[in-house]
Chain A
Amino acid sequence: MSEQFDPKTIIKEENLTYKKTEVMTDNTLSYCPGCGHGTAHRILAEVIDESGLQEKTIGVCPVGCSVLMYNFLNIDMQQAAHGRAPALATAIKRLLPDNFVFTYQGDGDLAAIGTAETIHACNRGENILIIFINNGIYGMTGGQMAPTTLPGMKSSTSPHGRDVSIMGNPLKMTDLVANLPGTYYVTRQSVHTPAAVRKTKKAIKKAVEYQQANKGTCFIEIVSNCPSGWKMTPTQSNKWMEEHMFPFYPPGDFKVPQE
């Protein structure tokens, strides 16, 4: 960054109204413009910061667009094989029970190749937080059909739209894990509006508290967009998400502890 654009030389300390959390690094995000990953990363980082957990957090990132998450969060992280993050997190948390442990996984990772690891970690009630980014597509590999791709939705491997009679139905993982006895808090959120961001951040905060109280698995789905994969502008993609993704994946709580 050249000197003249360094915010520190332009904005005086007393005029600062927003400061990036220390839990995020200065590395440039590798995500496409308008993608929800960056926002999801930031609120997670803010919660870790605000909870004073930077020194206690161990994150597990998946294979997919967020495979390089360890470049963006200033915490200890492990990069798992495709779908296996909940298995890594299981061992990490059991061996280091005083640490805050989370996985961050996309829909291909969590709902296809990692279905077994996800369901069994949730069913055992592993005391971890699973953050599930659902944008209905394989983003990293170039827009292939995911287990969560909507009926009729086009992708590079369903170019005529997902025909459920041939390609099967989308898998609603959040509905599924909410039915397992090991999960404590299960919710579906989004990060496409300021209000949604606030709600998701609140959900992550709750999950942190529950993990500290050893309550079991917390599972937060974030329905998100993929402007590149969906071949839309960021604004169009958010509108399309509300109109098409939300009716199939309605945001809201699935399992809320009785307090």
Chain B
Amino acid sequence: MKGNEAIAEAAIRAGCDGYFGYPITPQSEILEYLMEVKPYEKTGMVVLQAESEVAAINMVYGGAGCGKKVMTSSSSPGISLKQEGITYIAGAELPCLIVNVVRGGPGLGTIQPAQSDYFQAVKGGGHGDYRLIVLAPASVQEMADFVELGFDLAFKYRNPAMILSDGAIGQMMEKVYLKPQKERSTEIFPWATTGKPASRERNIITSLELDSKKQEIFNHKLQEKYRKIEENEVRFEEFQTEDAEYLIVAYGSSARISQKAIQIARAEGIKVGLLRPITLFPFPKKRLNEIAGKVKGMLSVEMSAGQMVEDVMLAVCGKVPVQHFGRMGGIIPTPEEVVENLKSKLIGG
């Protein structure tokens, strides 16, 4: 199954209430798959092709405000269009899932895989002080698994969650274990707009506050929530870090390439390990700082000009040298290139 199809099928099985999308390469299979299998006949899940990415994310906003499990997906240029809606959703504290199958940019860029939307996903993207919960799958299995995880985290914190994938994982075919069909939830959330019964006050979904003092109090509340997410939801995976003298930090496709690079390097006697952040926000800062005390240097491998490397540097606080290696524009680095750069940028010679 393709990564994109795994997302679509996992959404149906997770009991998703609504998907609102707009075609863009390399993620159109998500909407195509859903239209093909017609979950609206099976589970009652709403699937709608919107007139634009802007409309799609605002449909997600409307559905999320009703307490429904709703999602959208797109690729880089489309995700830029969705930023308005995403910041409103974050500001209104609503849960939803957004999938970005990243392609090379800027602008219309290429349709090949890239990881150049890291800043946009992790640092904000839209206006205002807000964060997304960002999950980075490295396999088709994780594409499927992170749909349910993304929804769970989104509802736990009433915050939008994003799956930050790339064109390689979206298009790649792998075996995948899918969970059995879950019933769609009938839970009515106390904050959701479902029609005001006499028993409660009216519910208002808004991100507007004209009183700046109240807005600041709200901003503090949001920041507290993000700190709580940082305390509780950091996820990462380590590979051969026990005896490592050097550490590669890489997520998604780059992490898979780096695993291969580590095999090559270790065959040459270089003790190198991998830390793969699974959550990009919250970022595994603490663990990186611990490892910084044990290794001689770190290399951030990304399909970008160097975005995550800034967070690695912040995490290690200057304890060890941190370098970056990346390819851009839809080019996927080879494991050999990674080893070469590990040698030239960190080991020397």
Interface residues of chain A, those whose CB is within 8 Å of chain B, are 54-58, 60, 67-68, 70, 73-81, 84, 87-92, 94-96, 99, 116-117, 120
User: Interface residue count for B (Cβ, 8 Å)?
Assistant: 38
Asked if A96 and B66 make an inter-chain contact with CB atoms under 8 angstroms apart, the answer reads yes
Asked if A117 and B55 make an inter-chain contact with CB atoms under 8 angstroms apart, the answer reads yes
Q: Which residue of B lies closest to A113 (CB)?
A: B54
A73 partner residues in chain B, CB cutoff 8 A: 202
Asked if B193 and A80 make an inter-chain contact with CB atoms under 8 angstroms apart, the answer reads no
Asked if A84 and B46 make an inter-chain contact with CB atoms under 8 angstroms apart, the answer reads no
Asked if A96 and B194 make an inter-chain contact with CB atoms under 8 angstroms apart, the answer reads yes
Asked if B202 and A80 make an inter-chain contact with CB atoms under 8 angstroms apart, the answer reads no
Q: Which residue of B lies closest to A59 (CB)?
A: B193
A77 partner residues in chain B, CB cutoff 8 A: 193, 202-205
B55 partner residues in chain A, CB cutoff 8 A: 84, 87, 90, 116-117, 120
B84 partner residues in chain A, CB cutoff 8 A: 81
A96 partner residues in chain B, CB cutoff 8 A: 66, 194-195
Asked if B61 and A70 make an inter-chain contact with CB atoms under 8 angstroms apart, the answer reads no
Contact A78 to B205, CB < 8 A, known contacts A95-B18, A95-B68, A120-B55: yes
Asked if B193 and A76 make an inter-chain contact with CB atoms under 8 angstroms apart, the answer reads yes
Q: Which residue of A lies closest to B65 (CB)?
A: A78
Asked if A76 and B208 make an inter-chain contact with CB atoms under 8 angstroms apart, the answer reads no
Q: How far is the CB of B87 from chain A (nearest CB, A)?
A: 9
Asked if A92 and B58 make an inter-chain contact with CB atoms under 8 angstroms apart, the answer reads no
Can you sample 5 A-B contacts with CB below 8 Å? Answer: A58-B193, A76-B196, A78-B61, A88-B58, A89-B62
Cross-chain contact of B63 among A55, A67, A92 (Cβ < 8 A): A92
B17 partner residues in chain A, CB cutoff 8 A: 95
B205 partner residues in chain A, CB cutoff 8 A: 77-79
Q: How far is the CB of A71 from chain B (nearest CB, A)?
A: 8
Q: How far is the CA of A169 from the CA of B321 in the complex (A)?
A: 62
A54 partner residues in chain B, CB cutoff 8 A: 196
Q: How far is the CB of B22 from chain A (nearest CB, A)?
A: 11
Contact A78 to B206, CB < 8 A, known contacts A90-B62, A92-B62, A116-B52: yes
**Cβ < 8 Å to A, chain B residues 54-103:** 54-56, 58-63, 65-66, 68, 70, 84-85, 88, 92
Contact A99 to B195, CB < 8 A, known contacts A78-B205, A116-B51: yes
Cross-chain contact of A90 among B59, B92, B193 (Cβ < 8 A): B59
B202 partner residues in chain A, CB cutoff 8 A: 70, 73-77
B203 partner residues in chain A, CB cutoff 8 A: 76-77
Asked if A95 and B63 make an inter-chain contact with CB atoms under 8 angstroms apart, the answer reads yes
